[in-house]
């Protein structure tokens, strides 16, 4: 999916797509789940991202600086999609286009995230967590 929409194949571009997925995931599960459980999932996600950056050899200063940027990007995305269901298609295209710097096939990405969002709404959180995360949520 990724290569179809961008010519840049950089870590930051792929991370933005991951953050979009996670934002849609949290947006949709928070409606039906306990806030503490959702917060633990959020924390585990960003802790794992930080650990992975350290594992790749990034230093403490670099990791801390980048984590602030990633978390700010995540909350910016989350704020934009919080009312996704009520937005017009053109507004959704604008969010995707501006956030991911994608100019072509934006409608296809909007459709993808629509389907992804609907899938999350219809699927139990336990299905996503089963066997993947060892934390007690």
Roughly how many angstroms between the first and final C-alpha of the chain, as a whole number? 31
Per-residue pLDDT band for 1 (boundaries 50, 70, 90) equals low
Position 68 scores a pLDDT of 92
Domain range holding 107? 9-125
Q: Is residue 46 part of a domain?
A: yes
Mean per-residue pLDDT, 38-52: 91
In a domain, 55, yes or no: yes
Rounded to the nearest integer, the mean pLDDT of the chain is 84
- Tell me, yes or no, whether 101 lies in a domain: yes
Give yes or no for residue 11 having a pLDDT over 80: no
Instruction: Judge whether 115 lies within some domain.
Output: yes
Inter-residue contact 82 to 27 (CB < 8 Å):
yes
What integer is the mean pLDDT of 5-12? 65
Q: 95 near 80, Cβ under 8 Å? A: yes
Residue pLDDT, tens place only, 46-71: 999 998 888 877 777 888 888 999 99
| Cβ–Cβ under 8 Å, residues 24 and 117 | yes
- Tell me the whole-structure pTM to 2 decimals: 0.83
What domain count does the chain have?
A: 1
């Amino acid at each position: 999916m990724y290569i179809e929409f961008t010519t840049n194949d950089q870590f930051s571009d792929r991370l933005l797509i991951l953050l979009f997925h996670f934002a849609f995931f949290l947006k949709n599960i928070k409606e039906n789940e306990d806030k503490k459980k959702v917060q633990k999932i959020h924390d585990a996600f960003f802790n794992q991202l930080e650990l992975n950056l350290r594992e790749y050899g990034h230093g403490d200063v670099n990791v801390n600086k980048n984590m602030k940027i990633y978390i700010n990007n995540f909350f910016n995305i989350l704020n934009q999609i919080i009312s996704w269901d009520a937005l017009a298609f053109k507004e959704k295209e604008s969010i995707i286009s501006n956030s991911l710097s994608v100019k072509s096939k934006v409608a296809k990405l909007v459709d993808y995230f629509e389907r992804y969002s609907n899938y999350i709404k219809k699927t139990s959180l336990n299905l996503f967590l089963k066997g993947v995360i060892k934390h007690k949520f």
